Structure 1
Amino acid sequence: MENKWLRAALPALLIHGSIGTVYAWSVFKQAVADQIGASVPEVEWAFSIAILFLGLSAAALGHFVERNIKKSALLSTAFFVIGMIGTGISIQQKSLIGIYIFYGVVMGIGLGIGYLTPVKNLMLWFSDNKGLGTGLAVAGFGLAKMVFSPIMMALQTHVGLWQMFVILAGVFAVMMLTAVALIRKPLEWHEQPLVHRFNPMALVKNTNFIGIWLMFYLNITAGLAIISQEKDILTGLTQTGGTMAFSVTAIATIMSIDAFFNAAGRIGFATFSDRLKDRNTVYQLIFLMSLIMVLLTYFAPQTSTVEIIVIVTTFFLINAGYGGGFSALPPLLADRFGMKAISKIHGMTLTAWAAAGLSGNQLASFIVHGLGMSYQVVFGAIAMLYTVAFLISRFVVKATRTIIE
Structure 2
Amino acid sequence: MKAAALKNTISLLIICVVFFVFGFATWINAVLIPYFKLACELTNFKAYLVTFAFYISYFVISVPASFLLKKIGLKNGMTVGFFIMATGAFIFIPAANYRSYPIFLTGLFIIGTGLALLQTAANPFVTTLGPEESAARRISIMGICNKTAGIIAPLLLAAFIIKPTDGQLFKDVQLMDEAHKTMVLDELIKRVITPYTAVGCVLILMGLLIRLLPPPDIDKLDATASKDKAETCIFQYPHLILGAVAIFFHVGSQVIAIDSIIPYAQSMGLSLPEAKVFPSYTLFATICGYLLGISLIPWAISQRTALRICTVLGITFSLLVIMSKGWVTLLGHHTDISLWFMVLLGFANSMIWAGIWPLALHNLGRHLKLGASLLIMGLCGNAILPLFYGYFADHLGLREGYWVLLPCYFYLSYYAFYGHKVKTWRFKLKTV
Q: Please report the TM-score for the alignment, with normalisation by the length of structure 2.
A: 0.78
**Contact map agreement 1:215 1:393 (CA 8 A) in 2:** no
**Contact map agreement 1:54 1:110 (CA 8 A) in 2:** no
Aligned to 2:233, the other structure's residue is in SS state helix
How many Å apart are 1:175 and its aligned residue? Answer: 4.0
How many Å apart are 1:259 and its aligned residue? Answer: 1.9
Aligned to 1:341, the other structure's residue is in SS state helix
**Contact map agreement 2:152 2:280 (CA 8 A) in 1:** yes
Q: Equivalent of 2:59, from 34, 55, 60?
A: 55
Comparing 206-215 with 179-188, greater Cα deviation is found at 179-188
**Contact map agreement 2:29 2:259 (CA 8 A) in 1:** yes
Which one-letter code corresponds to 2:46 in the other structure? E
Which one-letter code corresponds to 2:10 in the other structure? R
Q: Equivalent of 1:8, from 8, 11, 14?
A: 11
Residue 97 of structure 2 is aligned to residue 92 of structure 1: yes
Alignment of 1:100-249 (within 5 A): 100-104=105-109, 106-127=110-131, 129-157=134-162, 160-185=191-216, 192=223, 202-237=233-268, 239=269, 246=270, 248=272
**Contact map agreement 1:286 1:321 (CA 8 A) in 2:** yes
Comparing 34-43 with 281-290, greater Cα deviation is found at 34-43
How many Å apart are 1:190 and its aligned residue? Answer: 7.3
Between the two proteins, the alignment pairs up a number of residues equal to 391
Alignment of 1:262-301 (within 5 A): 262-266=286-290, 268-269=292-293, 274-275=298-299, 279-301=303-325
How many Å apart are 1:23 and its aligned residue? Answer: 1.9
* Structure 2 match to 1:346: 372
Aligned to 2:325, the other structure's residue is in SS state coil
Give the Cα–Cα distance (whole angstroms) in 2 for the partners of residues 286 and 363 of structure 1: 23
Give the 3 Å change call, closer, same or farther, for CA 206–120 of structure 1 in structure 2: closer
Q: Equivalent of 1:380, from 385, 403, 414?
A: 403
Give the Cα–Cα distance (whole angstroms) in 2 for the partners of residues 84 and 113 of structure 1: 16
Give the 3 Å change call, closer, same or farther, for CA 194–65 of structure 1 in structure 2: farther
Give the Cα–Cα distance (whole angstroms) in 2 for the partners of residues 390 and 358 of structure 1: 22
Comparing 154-163 with 94-103, greater Cα deviation is found at 154-163
Give the Cα–Cα distance (whole angstroms) in 2 for the partners of residues 392 and 192 of structure 1: 27
**Contact map agreement 2:77 2:117 (CA 8 A) in 1:** yes
Which one-letter code corresponds to 1:366 in the other structure? Y
Which consecutive unaligned segments of at least 5 residues does structure 2 have? Answer: 164-189, 426-430
Comparing 288-297 with 313-322, greater Cα deviation is found at 313-322
Give the Cα–Cα distance (whole angstroms) in 1 for the partners of residues 111 and 218 of structure 2: 32
Structure possessing the higher radius of gyration over alpha carbons: 2
Which one-letter code corresponds to 2:119 in the other structure? Y
Give the Cα–Cα distance (whole angstroms) in 1 for the partners of residues 374 and 402 of structure 2: 29
How many Å apart are 1:109 and its aligned residue? Answer: 0.9
Give the 3 Å change call, closer, same or farther, for CA 165–310 of structure 1 in structure 2: same
* Structure 2 match to 1:242: none
* Structure 2 match to 1:71: 76
Aligned to 1:374, the other structure's residue is in SS state coil
Give the Cα–Cα distance (whole angstroms) in 1 for the partners of residues 391 and 218 of structure 2: 51
Give the 3 Å change call, closer, same or farther, for CA 199–94 of structure 1 in structure 2: farther
* Structure 2 match to 1:17: 20
RMSD over aligned CA atoms reads 3.6
* Structure 1 match to 2:281: 257
Which consecutive unaligned segments of at least 5 residues does structure 1 have? Answer: 240-245
Give the Cα–Cα distance (whole angstroms) in 2 for the partners of residues 312 and 5 of structure 1: 41
How many Å apart are 1:146 and its aligned residue? Answer: 0.5
Aligned to 2:215, the other structure's residue is in SS state coil
Give the Cα–Cα distance (whole angstroms) in 2 for the partners of residues 221 and 383 of structure 1: 12
* Structure 1 match to 2:173: none
Alignment of 1:323-334 (within 5 A): 323-334=350-361
Residue 391 of structure 2 is aligned to residue 366 of structure 1: yes
Q: Please report the TM-score for the alignment, with normalisation by the length of structure 1.
A: 0.82
**Contact map agreement 2:44 2:393 (CA 8 A) in 1:** no
